[in-house]
Amino acid sequence: MCSAKTFPANLLKMKNNIAERLLKIKAGIPQGVQLVAVSKFHPAEAIKEAYDAGQRIFGESRAQELKQKFEVLPSDIQWHFIGHLQTNKVRMLLPMVSLFHSVDSLHLMEVIDAEAKRIGSVANILLQVHVAREETKFGFSPDEIIEAIDTPQIKNMTNISVRGIMGMASNTDHIPTVEAEFKQLAHIFHDIKSKDIFPEFNILSMGMSQDYQLAIQCGSNMVRIGTDIFGNREY
């Protein structure tokens, strides 16, 4: 026998949970801090629940998955791309994505700029900076990013708006480590901002489910929260 009898009750419970968790998190986030609801690996129905509770910014990490959700969900959703970005996905993603969080090379910037020129748009991007101890994470190192923004090519990228930086702290319970990394990211953010190279440079994207409160204390104004809203992901 199938479990049709219990299924609707479970679904209802899950639905309420998403809206409830979302609203609770939002209530605890100061004004001026934007919430990106990270919906990767969760179905369109889950996103719709958060949408109906008022959420409009969603983060996805895979190009094809974002496209499928984009096609079935309301058009006033702002899609943020937070996963590792490959140059061959830029053309497909550009018309759908309002902010790219994970731009990690000059070459990728050039590709985005060229594609945005081609379709007559301006792409909003964050430069991903790697400060965590994990070696697998992508991004510019703190030295590389300062070097990169000083290169002459940057000035010719007229179809990119560099809006800020994105970073992740180490995946550890050791709070002083996480705090030091967030402080380092905040320092890099203010350093670049003070150089006045990018007119719209005002986003510091840092903080996930397990560390967003600390990130906000360290100056984050955009947090990316998945698990605490949608529950665990099944990969």
Ligand X SMILES: *Cc1c(COP(=O)(O)O)cnc(C)c1O
The residues of the shown chain that bind ligand X, judged by CB under 6 A, are 38, 40, 61, 82, 208-210, 224-228
- H or E, element range at 67: helix 63-72
Q: How far is the CB of 234 from ligand X (least distance, A)?
A: 12
The residue among 213 and 227 lying less far from ligand X, judged by its C-beta, is 227
Q: How far is the CB of 66 from ligand X (least distance, A)?
A: 13
Q: What is the dihedral of CA 164, 168, 173, 176, to 10 degrees?
A: -50
The 3 state secondary structure assigned to 4-61 is CCCHHHHHHHHHHHHHHHHHHHHHCCCCCCEEEEECCCCCHHHHHHHHHCCCCEEEEC
Look up residue 56 and give its amino acid.
R
Smallest distance, Å, CB 96 to ligand X? 18
What's the closest the beta carbon of residue 82 comes to ligand X, in angstroms? 4
Nearer to ligand X (CB atom), residue 139 or residue 192: 139
Closer residue to ligand X (CB): 114 or 177:
177
Considering the complex, what minimum distance in angstroms separates the CB of residue 58 from ligand X? 11
Nearer to ligand X, 60 or 113 (CB): 60
The alpha-helical segments, DSSP class H, found in 195-226 are: 212-217
218 token code pair: 């360290």
Q: Measured from the CB atom, is 40 or 163 closer to ligand X? A: 40
Distance, in Å, from the CA atom of 46 to the CA atom of 91, rounded to the nearest integer, reads 27
Residue with tokens 């560390």: 211
Nearer to ligand X, 40 or 130 (CB): 40
Residue 117 vs 137, nearer CB to ligand X: 137
**Closest residue to ligand X, based on beta-carbon distance:** 226
Task: Give the single-character DSSP code of 77.
Answer: P
Q: Are 197 and 156 in contact (CB under 8 A)?
A: no
CB 81, min distance to ligand X, A: 10
Minimum CB separation from ligand X for residue 40, in Å?
Answer: 6
Give 226's contacts (C-beta < 8 A, 6+ positions apart).
37, 38, 39, 40, 42, 59, 208, 209, 233
Q: In the chain, helix, strand, coil percent, each to 5?
A: 45, 20, 35
